[in-house]
Every structure is written in C-alpha cells, then in structure tokens.
Amino acid sequence: MRRMAGAAIIVVLSGVLLCGCWLVPVTRTDVCVDWVRFETMQQRFDHAGAVLVGKPLQRDGDVRIYGYQANVHVVEVEKVLKGSVAQGTVRIAAMPVTCGKTYPDGDPLDAGDRLLFFVTEQNGQWFTMTPEQGAVPFPAGTPLPFKTG
C-alpha cells in the first residue's frame, strides 16, 4: 500500500513538473545587429547585392529576420543599376532596427517617394541593406551619387 502511494505521488509530481514547463514564458532569442555605417554612397553601391531606382506602391505583409518582423513592400522598379532584380515589381522588406523598436523613426519605405534602393538577398527575399542606409530619396533628374562601372 505504501509503495502504491509513493508511486502515485511520484507520478503526480512528475506530471505537475512537466506541465509546468508550458506555464513558464518562453524567451525569444532576438539578435542585436551592429550595422555597418557606409561613409560614401559609392561604398553603399559597392557592397549592395543590387541597386535600383523605384517607388514603393503598397505594403505586402511582413517577414521575420534576426527575430524581428520586417515590413514588406511591393516596389515598382524603374531602373536596375546593379544586380539581378526583375523589371516590373519586386517585393522589398525594410530592414528593421534591432535591439529595440523595429522602426523608431517610421518605416523608411512608407513614404511612397521615388527612392534609390541598396538591397541584399537573404533566404530568397530582398531586404534594404541596413535600416538607415538601404533606401534614400531620389527625385527625378537627380544625378547618380556613385559610379556604376
């Protein structure tokens, strides 16, 4: 009888301890990226996987990178200056700032202006190269701020 009571207590305690694992909050393992700061536009051009001129048309969902949600935008491609981005439209995610609020100054692609994009490809998705230096306003008639060849 004592053996059965002891076994029952062990079974109950094991069940409680195992169930308790689901009650403990799960911690995320977000990554804090130390972003490269490019001194010149030529350095941005040289390090980008692709460079294009285009205009964001609309938001198109989001994608996770480094443990954060990145806003994805459909971008109308006006001209490809470097890389293998298709003409027409392309989906580009605005690289989020890590270690804090995702877009502390707002999503840089929400403006809807004509932009010069410096992008990289990760897991089949285009991202702005960095949160702050991946897209810059580029009004019509503005000369390129770098050499392409």
DSSP codes of every residue in 45-104:
HHH-SEEEEEEEEEEEEEEEETTEEEEEEEEEEEEEEES-PPSEEEEEE-PPPSSS-S-T
Per residue in 54-74, pLDDT (tens digit) is 999 999 999 999 889 999 999
* C-beta separation of 85 from 124 below 8 A: no
For range 130-136, the mean pLDDT: 95
For range 109-125, the mean pLDDT: 93
User: Can you give the pLDDT at residue 35?
Assistant: 87
User: Can you give the pLDDT at residue 138?
Assistant: 97
> Which domains can be identified in the chain, with CATH numbers?
1-143 (2.40.50.120)
User: Can you give the pLDDT at residue 24?
Assistant: 45
For 128, the enclosing helix (H) or strand (E) is strand 125-128
For range 66-89, the mean pLDDT: 95
* pTM of this prediction exceeds 0.85: no
